[in-house]
Amino acid sequence: MLAPDARTVAVDLLRPPPEHTLDRVVLTTYSLDLETLLALPFAVLTHSDGGLEEMLADPLTLLTALRQSGEKVQVFVDEGAIAIPAGARPLYAMLEASVHPVRAPHGGAFHPKVWVARFLDPAGAPVLRVAVLSRNLTFDRCWDIALATDGAPRGKQRSAASRGLGELLRSLPRVSTQGVSEQLTADLLALADEAERTNFASPAGFDGAVHFHPLGLGPRRRKPWQPRDDGGRLLAIAPFANKTALDVLTAITAADRTLVSRQETLDDLPNGALDAWQSVLVLADAAAEEPEDGTGPRPSGLHAKAIAIEHGWDVTWFVGSANLTAAAFTGTNVEMMVSLTGKKSRREAGGIDRFMEDGFMAICKPYVPSKPLLDELAKAAHASLEVTRKALAAAPLRVVCAAGSQDSWTWTVVGDFVPPPGIEVETWPITLGEDQARQLVSPSIWIVPLPRLTAFVAFKLSCTVAGGDDVRITLKLPTEGMPDGRVAHVLRSLIDSPERFLRFLRALLGGLEGLTELPAGDGSGTGGSWWVEGLGGETLLEDLVRAASRDPSRLTPIRNLIADLRATEEGRLIVPDALYEIWTVVDQALTTQEAA
């Protein structure tokens, strides 16, 4: 777990154990890249470790993954920290029901990075996997740390170690800014109950269960969080730090303290803030270089958060989302840290010396103060942009849609928001390119085709007084007038012929691997008898019956897809009547079987 050269692919955390299926997963994150969320179900279901463009090259393949994952993936993200995606894709409409903006109760950031996956064995018994990370749900290349552990609920007895995980899950409906459905609320409460009845085993070399420490969910703390109240040695690693948290940590030990952070963070600390630290380090330049073995780009930059405290013969590690800042330690932010304890003598647990000598020291170098990169004017501009970002995220904005002529719709951002002097705000729907951006005024109106309607709205905040980077975010806004059949139109924009529909149907029946075995088709079908003559359509009934008998759940996404497409006149050309009649026979038989 603690070896710096160990690599964990994030999607591995969601792949089921042998003979298990993924039932649902809840993800919490501070920041979110929507293209990462698009690629995640694809990578999990196809076991693909390819890059984003490879994943998105065939929208039918991606759409299959999204349809198969359905409502299984739910993401809770800080309301003002969704990134503007690089591509303007109608497929983002498929994510809207899964993305839930949340707000920290005490005015800080919603900052935990916790993944809770529920798997089912063939008998329906659940297994939970929890991953507590320092990484957000993005394609970041920084050095991060993750702890993953599995466990099964046992009886009715609650685990004191897991109580904090249940607390986080139970809080999610409450901190959601737009509310969640009754069904999702019930699912979260049930998942919290199972988590609280599960002891999650520590990794090899550590003793007992993993303990979960949520911060910022209850009443504001009167004093900062203290990981422990005693210790002989201390190692603290985080990209961000300030004097408040550093003073808390130095009070734990009398001497022998090591701090690892970013150069710019350390440069910005007040005089004397580092006097109590015997060793202060930053990442060495070599840590960001390309590897010689051709395995691809190495991580660049520090993003891991960890605290190690040696006490007696033992060492306790705290890992998770909390930086060494007042916002994290005092409960202004919502955070999640986990702790695990083991003997310093064990190689797997690792005392501080062993951890540093086993490779971490090789990617570090002593900190040497340098001139801050940002001058005071740029810092003031950055602070003003951050204040504007938070105000914008909390502003009463909404999207109003109205049908126009033919397939065109008006998509309008309305609501009151006036940026402070010196700040400009541009906005546009994320399903259009940034060349469609315009100044935020109320109302701001675009004319778009129906498949481009979206609840995701891009904003670019710029400071006109001083230089510095723009702040770019996506907000998921409440909507009015969004048509019920919008998803069907998005589907039709991708599945625009009987040929492509049959290819997609066979992928749903045979699994995603079936997509690689089918010709792409030229999209020239007209809806006659092509589906019978092409791609082996004569065996379609047999395939449907086989899927229904072996795994009826595979027909659920097909039922949803056909209903979506048959809801429109154009969709009925893609799913011809003859094909629909075959499906109806199978569906009726399946419904009778389920009722029995």
**Model confidence pLDDT, tens digit, residues 380-405:** 888 899 999 999 999 999 999 999 87
Report pLDDT for 484: 80
Give Cα 560 distance to the centre of its chain: 25
What fold characterizes domain 396-482? Immunoglobulin-like (2.60.40)
**Residue 257: pLDDT above 50?**
yes
- Beta pairing, strands 206-215 & 335-343: antiparallel
Burial letters 410-419, b for 16+ CB under 10 A, else e? bbbbbbebeb
**Residue 5: pLDDT above 60?**
no
> Which of 3, 113, 128, 150 has the alpha carbon at shortest distance from 337?
113
> pLDDT grade, residue 585 (50/70/90)?
confident
**Residue 295: pLDDT above 70?**
no
What is the C-alpha separation between 50 and 70, in angstroms, rounded? Answer: 22
Specify which residues 193 forms β-bridges with.
none
This prediction's pTM: 0.84
Between 544 and 267, name the one with better pLDDT.
267
Cβ atoms of residues 118 and 194 within 8 Å: yes
Look up residue 466 and give its amino acid: A
CATH architecture for residues 233-366: 2-Layer Sandwich (3.30)
Report pLDDT for 381: 85
Between 538 and 121, name the one with better pLDDT.
121
Between 61 and 209, name the one with better pLDDT.
209
Report pLDDT for 108: 94
> pLDDT grade, residue 533 (50/70/90)?
very low
Q: What is the CATH number of domain 10-204?
A: 3.30.870.10
Of 90-94, 213-217, 513-517, which range is least confident?
A: 513-517
> pLDDT grade, residue 6 (50/70/90)?
very low
Every domain of the chain with CATH number 3.30.870.10 lies at: 10-204, 233-366
> pLDDT grade, residue 500 (50/70/90)?
confident
Every domain of the chain with CATH number 2.60.40 lies at: 396-482
